[in-house]
Each structure stands twice: as structure tokens, then as C-alpha cells.
Amino acid sequence: MKRLMVFFLLFLSTAIASDNKKILFENKIYRLSLISSNNCERLNIFNKKYKKNIPILDRLSFLDYGFSLSVNCNSSGFISWDKSFDNNYNDNFLVLNYDLIGYVDIPGEKPKRHVEYYCSVLDLATGDILTKENSNDGFCKMDTLSLPGEVIINKNKVLLYNQPNKISNKYLIKGDKIKVFYRYVNDKDEWHFINYKGKKEINMWIKADSVDIK
């Protein structure tokens, strides 16, 4: 039986290294760092405005191999990260592009190298990983340039989702104005990741049929 042994490599052309910290990304508000200590490597977001650390919250199991983004202690398979960063779309969201490099272990044969390309979207304000998709898919290619800047909810009540298919107790109503950041299609439905500015600012998912986008 084939067994995939996963190793992670990071080539950060823009990283700033210190004894135990690499700054992976930084803008005027946030700093994303990889911190190493006691055989443990973890990602950390620091809000410079409020001088507050934000833990990374991985709600979708960041990779398919049981790897935890926020806690990586005493893991012999974890080596380093391979990421590039793109936040051209919104200062509060960071697109993480990375390579998953593994080896298929076949008895009696040399392990065969296997590479897959992935991306995730990190909400810098909360530390939430918003999704994980193959980087060749539309989500990571960002079809956002074809999406309008602002659209209006066209149904009487539209449920909001923390993640596609993970419903929350929040909703929007007909006439609410939203901004669509990303379009994502899974096996059954099409989804939009939206921003709504009301009494509280909301960044969540809705089903695509809740708005008219032509």
C-alpha cells in the first residue's frame, strides 16, 4: 500500500531572518512571522496598531495530511515553509501560495517525489484560514478582477457561512450592499466571499445565487 510521507520546504525570497524568527510578510498594520523555539515552529500574526498577537486558527485542516498550521512541535516531518504572498486585493487578506512536496514510499523501490501546488487565504484580522484549494483553480488565480466592486443582496434573507457549507447564525437581508472578494466553486455550489459594512463589519461566505453578478 502506498504511503505518502509529506515534507514541507520554504523558500522565502523576502523573508527577514533572526535567531528564532522570520518575518514572512509585513504591512502598515500586520506582521506575519514564523517563530522557532524548542523544536517547535509556529506562525504568528502581530497587530502593530493595537500591539496584539493573533493566533492562527486553522478551521479547515490546512493540509490534507493532518498538519496543524498553528502548532508544529516535535514533528519530524516539518522542515520549513514554501510560500509566496499576494495582498493586492485587500490589506486584511493574504494569499499564501505554497508547494506540498512529498514522497510516495513503495516497498522495494526508491521513494518517488511528488509535488502539489496549493494556496490558502489568511484573514489577518482574525488569524482564520479561509480556504484551501489547488493553486491552479479559479479561487487562487483570483477571478476577482471580473467581479463588481459592490452588489446588492436580492433575496429577503441570505444566510452567512463561516466557510462554504459551514453555516452560521448570521444573515443579511434584501437591499444590503456587499463587496465580493472571491468566487469559489465546489462540487455542489458556487460561493462568494463577501465584506459587509454595517453596525459591525462582516467578512463571510454566501451562496452565489444570493446576488446578481453578470
What is the torsional sign of CA 10, 13, 18, 22?
negative
Q: How confident is the model at residue 158 (pLDDT cuts 50, 70, 90)?
A: very high
Tell which wins on pLDDT, 94 or 81.
94
Q: What's the pLDDT score for residue 198? A: 84
φ, ψ of residue 178 in degrees (nearest 5) = -135, 160
- Which part of the chain is CATH 2.30.30? 144-210
Pick the CATH number of 144-210 from 3.30.1340, 1.10.1740, 2.60.40, 2.30.30: 2.30.30
Whether 127 and 56 have beta carbons less than 8 Å apart is answered as yes
> What value does the mean pLDDT take over residues 153-158?
91
Is 70 exceeded by the pLDDT of residue 3?
no
